[in-house]
Amino acid sequence: MSRLELYSPEGIRIDGRRFNELRQFTSQLNTHPNVSDGSSYVQQGNSKVICLVQGPMESLSNTNAGGASKLDHNGPILSININYPPFANNVRKKRMRNDRRLQELCVVLKRCFLKTIVSKNYARTVIEVNITVLSMDGGLLACCCNAITLALIDAGIALYDYVSAISIGLYNQIPLLDMNTLEENDLSFITIGVVGDSDKLNLVLCEDKLPLDNLEALISLGIEGCHRIKQLMDEQVRLVGTDLLSKKQ
């Protein structure tokens, strides 16, 4: 395989973007109104993710019947599940049901959203989040995080703020925003989740080695990107909300 030119001297990335350019971000809310309390669809470039939220409810909807006894008196039990079918990747690959990496991502997301949900409103309840990856072209965690935020909002669950996430990679001191698969394979990257319009990070995940002195530049670009994504999500929430309101009257 020939060496790919990930970043040309003219400042163009492999898919024709600039270093600070997001992929096309599209989102939908309330996509599955009959089977879930909240649902969303997020598309970042060629990465497509569906998220369904059930709850808040008293016990888990499917099989896990033993959940009722260990309900939390201080907040909700958040169960996050990522379904990554074999066709979602470039190369067809069967994944084990308990893939180590996916489980790790679930834990990261769970920690992030337990801090974001106004937990005292949902004591002794269960919130079940199911994510299905339809196609993946980089930014798995970021897509999932954005999809969960939208689905939770759609479900009418109280959140302190939006959490918008993005991945940022590093190419020779240059931070690259919103990586795709080709870039993710060759470069080290970090995923961050930002709380609303603030500079607070609710989620940081780095699975590669990254020089520490470049971290600040990466994060500052990432925060700007997250703010933009939050803006796009907010527009969509308002659009769907006003649509729902018009149906009620």
- Which two three-digit tokens encode residue 25? 């971000």
Of how many residues is the chain composed?
A: 249
State which of positions 46-65 bind another protein (CB under 8 A): 55-58
Residue with tokens 């080290």: 188
Name the CA radius of gyration of the chain, rounded. 18
Check: CB of residue 175 under 8 Å from CB of residue 217: yes
CB of 234 to another protein, least distance (A): 5
Binding of another protein by 69 (CB under 8 A):
no
Report the site for another protein in 217-236 (rule: CB under 8 A).
220-221, 224-225, 227-228, 231-232, 234-235
Is 192 a binder of another protein (CB under 8 A)?
A: no
Q: 23 or 205: whose CB is closer to another protein?
A: 23
- Phi/psi at 91 (nearest 5 deg)? -100, 130
Count CB-CB contacts under 10 A for residue 118: 12
Sheet holding 47-57, edge to edge: 25-29, 38-44, 47-57, 126-135, 77-83
Of 64, 123, 185, 216, the one binding another protein by CB under 8 A: 123
Rounded to the nearest whole angstrom, what is the least distance from the CB of residue 62 to another protein in the complex?
15
List the one residue out of 162, 222, 211, 167 whose CA is nearest residue 191.
Answer: 167
The torsion of the CA quartet 175, 178, 184, 188, rounded to 10 degrees, works out to: 30
Residue 139, interface with another protein (CB under 8 A)? no
Give, as one character, the DSSP assignment of residue 68.
Answer: G
What minimum distance in Å lies between the beta carbon of 83 and another protein? 24
Query: Any contact of residue 245 with another protein (CB under 8 A)?
Result: yes
What pairs with residue 135 in β-bridges?
48
239 binds another protein (CB under 8 A): yes
Q: How many residues bind another protein (CB under 8 A)?
A: 57
Query: Least distance to another protein from the beta carbon of 206, Å?
Result: 20
Residue 66: both structure tokens together = 């033993």
Under rule CB under 8 A, residue 147 binds another protein: no
- Taking the least distance from each CB to another protein, the nearer of 18 and 101 is 18
Which member of 33, 64, 99, 185 binds another protein (CB under 8 A)? 33
Question: CA 170, CA 179: separation in Å to the nearest integer?
Answer: 10
Instruction: Name the minimum Å distance from CB 22 to another protein.
Output: 4
Give the footprint of another protein on this chain (CB under 8 A).
17-18, 20-22, 24-26, 30, 33, 37-38, 55-58, 118, 120-125, 153-162, 177, 195-197, 220-221, 224-225, 227-228, 231-232, 234-235, 237-242, 244-245, 247-248
